[in-house]
Structure 1
Amino acid sequence: MHHDHDHDLGLAHDLSRLQLQALQRRGALRWLLGAGAAGLAGGSALCLSGCGGGGSEAGSSTSSSSGSSSSSGGSSSSGGTTTTTSGCSVVPEETAGPYPGDGSNTSNGSIANALALSGIVRSDIRSSIAGATGTATGVPLQVIIELVNTNASCADLSGYAIYLWHCDALGRYSMYSSGVTAENYLRGVQSTGTDGTAVFQTIYPGCYAGRVPHMHFEIYRSANTATNWNNKLRTSQLCFPSDINTAVYATSGYGQSAANNNAISLSSDGIFSDGYSTQLCTVTGSVSAGYVATLRVGISA
């Protein structure tokens, strides 16, 4: 679903200029399931296992589809790879999917590495950068990720970097998907502040066939090391309450998202079916005002 770019200027140009963790049990399996989808790069927005999809979710809280809302918390426990220390849990390792744009694969014959783009360190990820001019449209969404240390009583981790990426309202991934191979929107890197948070301004992702609505993220020790997948500390995904998905997909501009969303749930999704309690965002807001999604992410630092 995405494309790739060759760029000489990279993150080192924006700043001042370990090894990839082996995918854990369920991440490895999902990559095998999704590997075949990598061959669809440049095709339709269908991903077998590593990218996105939609559906009602088990254990989500309630909210109104039209007014302001607050939803959070699934009742399912997180997967077997998650450990708990002092009240916070290590977020499960998940596949990056076929469209990471982190230098780990190619699109249209070239290495796809958004992390090498000048300007990739940014909070607002709705527009393309480095000469590309497209802008993703959809219901506004602010994503706030708080990174904490499970080995230190959930202390906030400052100075780390989070690379966030997701599909657009039509389920397409920039850099890979047909029609947006020349774009690099909905991808960006933010450093965590003294409160451990990284904040992204984006749009609510679409729902494509085979996956619940979700976003991908990678954690790096610093923005200086967030230049290539080889340096990442952890890869995971986040998801959203079903009532919020339903409210968003009742609006225009989201294509087949409503139908795709109705065909799957968190309990049947290939990534989240074994647990999602540490990956389900708390969401507040409304379609008219936009939403804010927050998630506490634990790592063993």
Structure 2
Amino acid sequence: MDRKKFLKNGMAGIGSIIAIPTLITSCNKDDDAGGVVDAGSCVVSPVETAGPFPIKTPADLVKENIIGDRTGIPLKIIIQVQNVNDNCKPLTGAFVDIWQCDAKGNYSEYSGQLDGDFTNQKFLRGRQTTDTSGNASFISIYPGWYPGRAPHLHLEILKSSGQSLLITQVAFPEDISKAVYATTNYKGDFDTSNAQDGIFSGDINRSIANSVTGNITDGYVLTETIKVSG
């Protein structure tokens, strides 16, 4: 989906999602990390665990809108994939798999969740293919949190052949998460900060999203660059 079209028209008909306004809040890696990140460095993005709830059948989830029946603050996710073996030029034709928890901290496709068994549900999981600019986008909701983890997204980048190039996670600016979690559908402030999260420990500067812009009324847009050895 075209980003300008999303910002202009919003996502009418999907829950309560409407257009992103002109006046927005924003946060980037320099703001949240407490130090300057060399965004221009051409090195592979942090390798992180797939977590206990990876996608089981990603080829069956080729879709841009991954919301399903979940509710929450709307989130447009724009991922650009770059190839460090080609001077970080955009990587075309790569699969981007994404998965995240819902507003209450539950993952689909698995039992033993905070609010029950979601084995037969497929919400908040999807796959898209990068375009000629190396971009893939998803329509989602701002993820909730669960005990022991800071708010995050899971990503896997794969070649069109299915070969995995990188599994990583993306963290969120804490001030924005606090604002989101004070709204209806969420369960209050997170219990684990980015600095306390064992997955992001020591590398939060490189793991936090490049940019998160928007507000709690109209939703947010997250952009992130993922660099792989393609």
Structure with bigger gyration radius: 1
Asked whether the 8 Å contact 1:87–1:153 carries over to 2, the reply is no
1:147 and 1:192 in contact (8 A); partners too: yes
Match of 2:86 among 152, 159, 183: 152
- Give runs of aligned pairs for residues 107-186 of structure 1, distance below 5 A: 113-117=56-60, 120-127=61-68, 135-176=69-110, 177=113, 178-186=116-124
What is the aligned-residue RMSD (CA, Å)? Answer: 2.0
Pairing 1:238–2:170 present = yes
4+ aligned runs moved over 3 Å, structure 1: 75-78
Q: Would you say 1:99 and 2:53 are equivalent positions?
A: yes
Question: TM (normalized to structure 2)?
Answer: 0.81
Unaligned 5+ segments in structure 2 are: 1-22
AA of the residue aligned to 2:147: A
- Is the 1:278–1:297 contact (alpha carbons within 8 Å) kept by the matching residues of 2? no
Q: Provide the residue aligned with 2:200 in structure 1.
A: 272
Q: Residues 238, 85 of structure 1: CA spacing in aligned structure 2 closer, same or farther, 3 A cutoff?
A: closer
- Which SS does the other structure have where 1:94 is aligned? coil
The within-5 A match list for 1:201-280 is 201-222=139-160, 225=162, 231-255=163-187, 257-258=188-189, 261=190, 263-280=191-208
Q: How many residues align?
A: 200
Unaligned runs of 5+ in 1: 1-66, 79-83, 102-112, 128-134, 226-230
Give 1:283 deviation, angstroms. Answer: 0.3
Query: Quick one: distance in 2 between partners of 1:292 and 1:86?
Result: 21
For the residues of structure 2 that align with 1:280 and 1:249, how far apart are their CA atoms? 18
- The alpha-carbon deviation at position 85 of structure 1 amounts to 11
Counterpart amino acid of residue 268 in structure 1: Q
- Indicate the residue corresponding to 2:41 in structure 1: 87
